[in-house]
């Protein structure tokens, strides 16, 4: 019985921490991250949680970009450039994009 209580407590704590976790949308809304022409996210402002989010999303993006490059017989850099252009175009008003090395608010 005591073991069950411990497991329930651990599960509840895990859910509480994930509720506090920074999401991509909230990070963009807060102006913490932005899209770049390279097809990857970058930090507009620094923070450990922000960098963890960026690293996680960029790793997933790179995996997807590599798959697309292989499937279409083009280079990874070509996919990254196309993805970056599209991401910047689709960035919502009020979010940041990095153009010519400078952060701009759309």
| Dihedral, CA of residue 70, residue 71, residue 72 and residue 77, to nearest 10 | -30
Question: Which stretches within 37-75 are classed as H helix?
Answer: 48-72
- 4 lies in some domain: no
Task: Give the pLDDT score at 48.
Answer: 82
Residue-wise pLDDT tens for the chain (106 aa)? 444 444 333 444 344 333 346 899 999 999 999 999 999 999 998 888 899 999 999 999 999 999 999 999 999 999 999 999 999 999 999 999 999 999 999 9
Q: Which residues pair with 41 in a beta bridge?
A: 35
- 81 lies in some domain: yes
- 27 lies in some domain: yes
Task: Give the pLDDT score at 20.
Answer: 44
- 72 lies in some domain: yes
Task: Give the pLDDT score at 3.
Answer: 45
Angle at 93 between CA 89 and CA 95, to 5 degrees: 85
- 60 lies in some domain: yes
Q: Which residues pair with 6 in a beta bridge?
A: none
* Cβ-contact 42, 36 below 8 angstroms: yes
User: With DSSP H G I counted as helix, E B as strand and the rest as coil, what are the percentages for the chain, rounded to 5?
Assistant: 60, 15, 25
- 1 lies in some domain: no
Residue given tokens 């991250």 in the structure block: 33
Looking at 4-91, which runs of residues are DSSP E strands?
33-36, 41-43
Task: Give the pLDDT score at 21.
Answer: 62
Residue given tokens 């989010």 in the structure block: 53
Q: How many domains does the chain have?
A: 1
User: Domain residues for 52?
Assistant: 23-105
């Amino acid at each position: 019985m005591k073991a069950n209580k411990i497991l329930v407590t651990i599960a509840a704590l895990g859910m509480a921490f994930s509720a506090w976790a920074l999401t991509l949308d909230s990070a963009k809304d807060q102006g913490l991250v932005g899209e770049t022409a390279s097809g990857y996210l970058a930090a507009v402002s620094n923070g450990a949680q922000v960098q963890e989010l960026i690293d996680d999303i960029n790793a997933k993006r790179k995996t997807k970009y590599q798959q697309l490059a292989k499937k279409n017989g083009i280079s990874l850099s070509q996919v990254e450039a196309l993805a970056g252009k599209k991401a910047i175009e689709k960035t919502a008003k009020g979010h940041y994009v990095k153009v010519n090395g400078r952060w701009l608010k759309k």
